[in-house]
Amino acid sequence: METLKVERLLVNYKTLEEFKRFKEYGNQELSMLDDLQNNIVENDSESPFFGIYYGSALVARMSLYRVHAKYDQYFEPPQDYLELWKLEVLPDYRGKGYGKALVDFAKSYKLPIKTNPRIKSHAFWEKMGFQKAQYDVERDLGENPLIWMPPGVQEKELTDK
């Protein structure tokens, strides 16, 4: 299999048009269209959006945000981590390694990663090495986060109060 190249997506009107293809597949809860429209700056190269192209078509995407330790509500001791949001692969390209390539790209930063999986996607995240986050009730934000820890980085388990 060819190596899939993950690219930082430019925040511009071309990317906005490409994002509309994803929304058409009924995944409005995953749509980054609103995020993109709110942050549009012509050809912003520091966007939080990453994707994989097949030819000239964007077929997989995610947003990846670095959260600084002072805002950490999931790890003990608090630490910088990545928040992986809205990973989506167009239906015709699923099962071909695009989602794994995006997750591996995020893992290459060697920081803990937190994600909130979509319904029916837990098997994918478990296969990628993610586990249910352990955190106390005070930290529960109505999410069911999964986390991944880089090799050699250990999280102290949080206990329910």
Give the up-direction half-sphere exposure of residue 45: CA atoms within 13 A in the CB hemisphere: 0
Would you say residue 155 has pLDDT above 50? yes
Helix (H, G, I), strand (E, B) or coil at 147: strand
Give the pLDDT confidence of 61-106 residue by residue, as tens digits.
999 999 999 988 888 788 999 999 889 999 999 999 999 999 999 9
**Which domains are seen in the chain, by residue range?**
6-148 (3.40.630.30)
DSSP state of 28: G
- DSSP-derived pairing of the beta strands 113-115 and 81-89: parallel
Give the pLDDT confidence of 15-26 residue by residue, as tens digits.
777 777 775 445
Q: Binning pLDDT at 50, 70 and 90, where does residue 160 land?
A: very low
Give the pLDDT confidence of 112-150 residue by residue, as tens digits.
999 988 778 888 999 999 998 876 545 555 567 899 999
Would you say residue 36 has pLDDT above 80? no
